[in-house]
Structure 1
Amino acid sequence: MKKAIIIGIMAVLAACSQPAQKQEKTNTPTTNNQTVYTCPMHPDVAELKPGTCPKCGMDLVEKQD
């Protein structure tokens, strides 16, 4: 009985000690008929003008709907 309680407590502590999943901010601008540029490798990156991806440095391309 003690062993089961100790195992249960250890399982709860192990689950609580896991780092929370980091949610990435999406930088998607809201536009009305404006061209949006995005990274081919990071579709969560979106800009209103051409440039380079802040994550990997690739050229941003026009987003295809």
Structure 2
Amino acid sequence: MKKIMIVCIMAAFAACKQPAQKQDKTPIENSADKTVYTCPMHPEVAELKPGTCPKCGMDLVAKED
């Protein structure tokens, strides 16, 4: 009985799980004449102005071409 209950609960959580949202934006790297700042530890983070990484808090650095 416990196994059936656990399986039902797991199925309910799996059904309620929302899919990850896709970014429909144009990648920042394609912006012409703009300096792109990125995190040394998380290269997928790209911003158009200096600041800190939202994942780890490190300072963003200018991306080299």
How far did 1:53 drift?
0.1
* Matched AA of 2:59: D
RMSD of the alignment, in Å?
2.1
Q: Which runs of 5+ in 2 are unaligned?
A: 1-19
Larger radius of gyration: 1
| Alignment partner, residue 4 of structure 2 | none
How far did 1:33 drift?
1.3
Q: Which runs of 5+ in 1 are unaligned?
A: 1-21
> Which 4+ stretches in 1 moved above 6 angstroms?
none
Q: How many residue pairs are counted as aligned between the two chains?
A: 42
Identity of aligned residues (%): 67
- Give the TM-score normalised by the residue count of structure 2: 0.56
